[in-house]
Amino acid sequence: MVELNDTFKDLKLAIFDLDGVIYRGNELIGRADEIIQGLKNLSIEVKYNSNNSTITRDMYVEKLNKMNISAKISDFYTSASITAQRITDFGENANIFIIGEIGLKKELEKKGHTVFDDSSRFREIDYVIVGLDRNFNYQKLADAQRCILDGKAKFYATNEDSTLPGKERILPGAGTMVNALKTCTSTEPIEIFGKPQKAGILSILKDTGIDKEDTYFFGDRLNTDILAGNRAGIKTVLVLTGVTTKDQVQKLQERKKDSEDVDMNLFPDYIIDSLSNILKI
Ligand SMILES: [Mg+2]
């Protein structure tokens, strides 16, 4: 029987970031599949919290299944699904113009909203929501700008990641598109729903009913994963299989020592080389 390592002996709910923690692109990292199964065998709840809004939760289920990890739609809290939930909390049947991909579109439509991809009816648009859009172009930006400046649309965003890890190089993240719209409207998004905001983690805590003290967030990025986890008051673990290196954490610690203004919430409670460190195998 596998056991938890002593550091994690109070773990009851494990929240994982996906890219850089469970997989890299389409490749499973190490033995993440076995670790997830091991946790489930110990009756530990497993949830996933990703800032990637480009695919739907159904597509995430499929993606993990292909990597030998069983999952269900309700296991995933993506910046698209969190956005769709929050927008629905504001009111039903909204007209929304998006800069974003199918994940964001479908999650909003599933909640009963109408998604537009041009500004011909700009006066009727309630919200402009910006997420990662790999087909982003000048026309989309001009349409979004029109809905906000000439119409009544309110500006929201899924997340503000500046970059994302590509297969061989770093690529522009959703924040790039958010900033483009900020610039041409001279307005800020009213709310950004993904990490480092704690909304997703708080939903997971609420839905599972598990205490903060027994909950750990496993992520590979300090300024989204770790920051969100610390803001939500749960324990945070930096996993070194993604974008952040130990060296970067040390440099940040030195800057802190030099009494520079560094947010304490950027520091994880623990640092592990890979998810294998959670269990005694
Ligand atoms: Mg990540």
CA of 152 to the centre of ligand 1 (A): 35
Report the alpha-carbon distance of residue 253 to residue 74 in Å, rounded.
Answer: 37
The size of the chain, in residues, is: 281
CA of 51 to the centre of ligand 1 (A): 8
CA of 243 to the centre of ligand 1 (A): 7
**111 CB-contact burial (10 Å; exposed 0-12 / middle 13-18 / buried 19+):** middle
CA of 129 to the centre of ligand 1 (A): 22
Global pTM reads 0.94
- pLDDT tens digits for 55-110? 999 999 999 999 999 999 999 999 999 999 999 999 999 999 999 999 999 999 99
CA of 213 to the centre of ligand 1 (A): 23
Report the alpha-carbon distance of residue 261 to residue 247 in Å, rounded.
Answer: 19
- pLDDT tens digits for 150-208? 999 999 999 999 998 777 888 999 999 999 999 999 999 999 999 999 999 999 999 99
CA of 72 to the centre of ligand 1 (A): 20
- 228 with 200: CB under 8 angstroms? yes
Q: So what's the pLDDT on residue 164?
A: 87
The residues near 260 (Cβ < 8 Å, ≥ 6 apart) are: none
Cα angle 189, 229, 232; round to 5: 75
Report the alpha-carbon distance of residue 244 to residue 221 in Å, rounded.
Answer: 6
CA of 142 to the centre of ligand 1 (A): 31
